[in-house]
Amino acid sequence: MAAIVKTDFNFPGQSDRYVGKVRDVYSINDEYLVMVVSDRISAFDVVLPEGIPYKGQVLNQIAAKFLDATADILPNWKIAVPDPMVTVGHKCEPFKVEMVIRGYLSGHAWREYKAGKRTICGVQMPDGMVENQKFPEPIITPTSKAAEGHDEDISKEEIIASGLVSREDYEQLEKYTRAIFQRGTEIAAGMGLILVDTKYEFGKKDGIIYLMDEIHTPDSSRYFYADGYGERLANGERQKQLSKEFVREWLMANGFQGQDGQKVPEMTPEIVSSITERYIELFENITGEKFCKAEDGTSDEILERIEKNVTSCLCKM
């Protein structure tokens, strides 16, 4: 099983390339984007040294499914999925914030809460809550998008006051965020899962707001199994979850949280294989479909397949 951790394509009409933590994004004629979802994996805003086979395919195909499932709420950037690891879509001007929405007190919000904070991104959290407890209503806790390094918590009023997003646009983003989260929650419930928290990215093209990038994937979202949630919460037990949190927990248990001077623990073949299995598990649980692995091959063979499929797609656009 080869993992794709680097791409360097030259597609027809290509004008630019951006390499993110996980995605390599190619600009085509300043009108379209080719997003190649690599097998890189990041945690604590650090790209880990080993790729995870099939992770890119899992993320790309889950995102495509949920983009289709929410297209009646607002337009999204997706045009085609010419390869299991690639989406081609509209190039939008991204808003410089990520819309994080939380239905439960988990992850970063819980770490802040446990440290004594009761306000996050200007939003008040009730006293007396325990880890993984459901909020009375989902809360939106946006972050400013960092070109590199850590994204930073930011409040609605700070976003508007700084001019990052206009008040009119931001309030529309909030409405879209709640509607998409509600749809994702309903779909997850039908699969026996709880959508705990997630993040969305939006952009504008021709004055219209578009939903961009991935949605409801294990990299951007946290899921619990609904069965046994209440009992585990009452007993103070860890929730059985499907998300990238298990990677963060493994790193923390081995002394790494992305801080200066810390070293990423060795990612053995067994660890890498177990992460692949967890990603496939989430795909099958959240989609209700069997995961069909793209044909295996060497890294060069997979890259050749991607280039052929994307080039064919672009020539038809």
pLDDT at 147: 58
- The token pair that represents 222 in the structure block: 């946290």
What is residue 149's predicted lDDT score, i.e. its pLDDT?
Answer: 54
Q: What is the pLDDT of residue 278?
A: 87
pLDDT value of residue 243: 74
Query: For residue 187, what are its two tokens?
Result: 């779909």
Give SS3 for 60: helix
pTM: 0.89
pLDDT in single tens digits along all 317 residues of the chain? 799 999 999 999 999 999 999 999 999 999 999 999 999 999 988 999 999 999 999 999 999 999 999 999 999 999 999 999 999 999 999 999 999 999 999 999 999 999 999 999 999 999 999 999 999 999 999 999 765 556 789 999 999 999 999 999 999 999 999 999 999 999 999 999 999 999 999 999 999 999 998 999 888 899 999 999 999 999 999 998 877 878 988 999 999 999 999 999 999 999 999 999 988 988 999 899 999 999 888 999 999 999 999 999 999 98
Q: Where are the beta strands (DSSP E) in the chain?
A: 14-19, 23-28, 32-37, 42-43, 46-47, 78-83, 86-90, 93-94, 97-104, 119-120, 123-124, 134-140, 143-144, 152-153, 193-205, 208-212, 221-225, 241-243
At 119 the pLDDT is 97
Q: How far apart, in whole angstroms, are the C-alpha atoms of residue 280 and residue 119?
A: 36
CATH of domain 94-243: 3.30.470.20
DSSP state of 246: H
Distant-in-sequence, close-in-space partners of 21: CB < 8 Å, separation ≥ 6: 40, 42, 45, 47
Residue 41: the pLDDT is: 94
Q: Which amino acid, residue 65?
A: K
